[in-house]
């Protein structure tokens, strides 16, 4: 068998087809008596990143899809749940529940790629499942502006055919290692395809899986790959009074195994703790000062950080600025200085501390709580009231995007989620 045949044979079982219907707006239908939207069949590809059914794909593949249908390599069909998504990076994680563990894609790294290197694309091109194309890496570090609201940064360019339906599928090297996640962004282009580098995709996936924990439990570990994305994973920070600190983990510990999961990259830390329950004891194997040490991590609920901080506030108590943020974001906030964030090891120029969260708001549903520091909404930093007012002045346009990414700082960690802006009193618009 040739290297390409071997690579495809080993990787295909971890590649899935994604289909579903979504409504799209016809820009030429304005003023007509007929509906301005129509139903279309969406299609794309995904890669299994965890044997329990967690799948990485593109945000645009699942955006607006009412029911996400996933078909495995063997033909088995499942309905998927959307776990988390990020419009800015065009990435999403979905999950299917299967009776047996699924094969996972073998991860490579995008750190050592070379122009001219042979690559393989695998996906659901135009609905033709498991279509294989090959080519070379044409260029690295490409920035591509798709429209006013979507820009891709640092992409891999390839001449391997990447067509509609390929989005979310793997770009692989000859060893069958995934080095990128395909994304079709140039309609009608000949010999020009793009992929999100795998290191970036997995960095975002790690954060998205952590978002799933915002409303359930926490561990307090900030992992860092010190020798590149596939090198040793060390503990960069241990949050005070966290399960990690109480379990004896220390900054600088090299993580080798959590539970039964070997830790080869930061994503594995989150994977190892998925599905755990508060009170569950998980063994952690670390290297410390040249010796192996086994510790116990007891998962804890995020009690005291969640629903007790979601409160109603009377309009009479609010300033004009706070009334505007209460309507648009479901939050009241006050500015904090850069020194507050830098004391937590985050080189940011300031932020807005959350004072209260409106029950039933989009922010509340995403797990935002009192004391969180909002540092970014969509593409804009929120370092001051003036920054927030800039966003408020564009609330109508932003709300039309459906949901936009927001970033908060909690303790010493940065989290993100998806926020739907309210307009004219509607704070739960979706």
The domain locations on the chain are 3-24+37-95, 118-201, 213-301, 307-419
Q: For residues 155 and 398, give the distance between their C-alpha atoms in angstroms, rounded to a whole number.
A: 26
Find the helix packing angle between 266-273 and 198-211, rounded to 10°: 30
Pick the CATH number of 307-419 from 3.30.390.30, 2.30.42.10, 3.40.50.720, 3.30.565.10: 2.30.42.10
Q: For residues 56 and 346, give the distance between their C-alpha atoms in angstroms, rounded to a whole number.
A: 28
Based on DSSP, count helices (H) and strands (E) in the chain, helices before strands. Answer: 10, 26
pLDDT at position 187:
60
Top-level class of domain 3-24+37-95: mainly beta
Strands (E), 190-267: 193-197, 217-218, 221-225, 233-238, 254-258, 261-262
Specify the pTM.
Answer: 0.68
Q: Do domains 118-201 and 213-301 have the same CATH topology?
A: no
- Bridge partners (DSSP) of residue 426 are 423
Q: 321: helix, coil or strand?
A: helix
pLDDT at position 195:
96
Q: Just give the CATH number of 118-201.
A: 2.40.10.10
Contacts (Cβ under 8 Å, ≥6 apart) of 291: none
| Alpha-carbon 282 to chain mean position | 25
Q: Which of 60, 85, 219, 378 is catalytic?
A: 60
Q: For residues 235 and 171, give the distance between their C-alpha atoms in angstroms, rounded to a whole number.
A: 30
**Alpha helices (H) in 304-359, listed in sequence order:** 320-328, 338-342
B/e letters for 388-423, b = 16+ CB within 10 Å, e = fewer, are beebbeebeebbeeebbbbbbbbbbbbbbbbbbbbe
Residue 242 is encoded by which pair of tokens?
């966290």
How does pLDDT run along the chain (430 residues), one tens digit per residue?
A: 899 999 999 999 999 999 987 655 543 333 444 445 556 677 899 999 999 999 999 999 998 888 899 999 999 999 998 888 888 889 999 999 999 999 999 999 999 999 999 999 999 988 899 999 999 999 999 998 876 667 788 999 999 998 889 999 999 999 999 999 999 766 666 778 999 999 999 989 988 887 444 445 778 888 877 655 556 889 888 888 888 999 999 988 999 999 999 999 888 998 888 878 788 899 999 999 899 999 999 888 765 343 334 444 555 567 888 889 998 998 999 999 988 888 877 788 899 999 988 887 888 877 788 888 999 998 788 989 999 999 999 888 888 777 788 888 887 777 777 888 876 543 333 2
Q: Which of 110, 134, 161, 167 is catalytic?
A: 167
Contacts (Cβ under 8 Å, ≥6 apart) of 345: 237, 412
Q: Is 60 a catalytic residue?
A: yes
pLDDT at position 240:
80
Q: Which of 11, 85, 86, 90 is catalytic?
A: 90
Q: Just give the CATH number of 213-301.
A: 2.30.42.10
């Amino acid at each position: 068998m040739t290297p390409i045949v071997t690579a495809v044979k080993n990787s295909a079982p971890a590649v899935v087809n994604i289909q579903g219907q979504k409504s799209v707006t016809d820009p030429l239908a304005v003023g007509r008596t007929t509906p301005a939207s129509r139903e279309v069949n969406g299609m794309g590809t995904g890669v299994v990143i965890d044997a329990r059914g967690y799948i990485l794909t593109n945000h645009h593949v699942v955006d607006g899809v009412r029911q996400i249908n996933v078909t495995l390599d063997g033909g088995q069909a499942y309905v998927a749940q959307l776990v988390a998504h990020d419009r800015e990076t065009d990435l999403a994680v979905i999950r299917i529940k299967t009776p047996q563990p699924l094969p996972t894609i073998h991860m490579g790294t995008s750190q050592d790629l070379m122009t001219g290197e042979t690559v393989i694309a695998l996906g659901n091109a135009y609905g033709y499942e498991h279509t294989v194309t090959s080519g070379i890496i044409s260029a690295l570090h490409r920035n591509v502006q798709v429209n006013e609201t979507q820009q891709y940064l640092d992409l891999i360019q390839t001449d391997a055919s990447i067509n509609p339906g390929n989005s979310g599928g793997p770009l692989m090297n000859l060893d069958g290692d995934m080095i990128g996640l395909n994304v079709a962004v140039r309609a009608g282009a000949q010999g020009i395809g793009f992929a999100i580098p795998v290191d970036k995709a997995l960095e975002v996936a790690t954060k998205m899986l952590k978002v799933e924990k915002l409303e359930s439990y926490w561990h307090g570990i900030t992992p860092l790959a010190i020798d590149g994305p596939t090198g040793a994973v060390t503990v960069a920070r241990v949050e005070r009074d966290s399960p990690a600190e109480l379990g004896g983990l220390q900054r600088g510990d090299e993580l080798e195994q959590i539970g039964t999961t070997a830790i080869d990259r930061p994503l594995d830390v989150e994977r190892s703790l998925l599905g755990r329950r508060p009170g569950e004891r998980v063994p952690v194997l670390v290297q410390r000062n040249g010796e192996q040490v086994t510790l116990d991590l007891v998962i804890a609920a995020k009690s005291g950080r969640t629903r007790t901080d979601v409160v109603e506030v009377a309009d009479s108590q609010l300033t004009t600025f706070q009334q505007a943020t209460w309507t648009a974001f479901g939050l009241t906030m006050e500015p904090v200085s850069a020194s507050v964030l830098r004391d937590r090891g985050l080189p940011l120029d300031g932020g807005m501390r959350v004072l209260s969260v409106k029950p039933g708001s989009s922010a509340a549903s995403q797990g935002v709580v009192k004391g969180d520091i909002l540092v970014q909404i969509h593409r804009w930093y929120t370092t001051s009231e003036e920054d927030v007012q800039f966003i408020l002045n564009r609330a109508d346009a932003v709300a039309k995007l459906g949901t936009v990414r927001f970033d908060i700082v909690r303790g010493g960690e940065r989290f993100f989620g998806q926020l739907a802006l309210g307009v004219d009193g509607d704070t739960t618009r979706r």
